[in-house]
Amino acid sequence: MRIIVFFDLPVVKKKERKIYAQFRRFLLNDGYDMIQYSVYSRLCNGSDMTNKHLKRLNQSLPEKGSIRCLTITEKQYEDMKFLVGKPTAKERRVHTEQLSLF
**pLDDT of res. 90:** 72
Q: Where are the domains of the chain?
A: 2-99
**pLDDT of res. 97:** 52
**pLDDT of res. 102:** 46
Closest CA to 2 of 89, 78, 86, 90: 78
> Is 80 exceeded by the pLDDT of residue 78?
yes
- Residue of 59 and 84 predicted with greater confidence: 59
Confidence tier at 85 by pLDDT (50, 70, 90):
confident
Rounded average pLDDT over 84-93: 75
Secondary element (H or E) of residue 78: helix 74-78
Do the beta carbons of residue 35 and residue 41 sit within 8 Å?
Answer: yes
Q: What is the pLDDT of residues 33-45, one digit of tens each?
A: 999 999 999 999 9
Topology, domain 2-99: Alpha-Beta Plaits (3.30.70)
Rounded average pLDDT over 8-23: 97
